[in-house]
Structure 1
């Protein structure tokens, strides 16, 4: 869980972000653009990168001997794809 809090500080119409320590009422040293803050926060919460190669997945499914098992896996993948669209 992210424990840092940030305040938006607008300078000449441009928003910047600075870490704010609730307990002490003090600010951190760095001033971030929105893009920099998003990247910083993503680094803290993204644990791993998983790459999916649809071609390799389809090849693996074709190697499943049982026809019903193959269909079950294909239907489950279709279900997951629909979930990702929503």
Structure 2
């Protein structure tokens, strides 16, 4: 048996762990600090309203009812389907 073979698996594990450990270290992460500081200030920010306008809601509802009336079998009772 070759004397090198028993060392291949442990050496491979050490190399793999070394590469995996590098993922957790960010030696030059100054470009990430601006993003991180945005979430570390602790202030609450107001959220913009993400609701659908009433006029758009009415238009969506009319289109939904129109399309629902065109299906076969009739979609009048969705619970039955």
TM-score computed with the length of structure 2 as normaliser:
0.29
User: Which structure would you say has the larger RCO, counting Cα contacts within 8 Å and 6 or more residues apart?
Assistant: 1
Which has the higher Rg, Structure 1 or Structure 2? 2
TM-score computed with the length of structure 1 as normaliser:
0.28
- Whichever structure has more strand as a proportion of its residues is 1
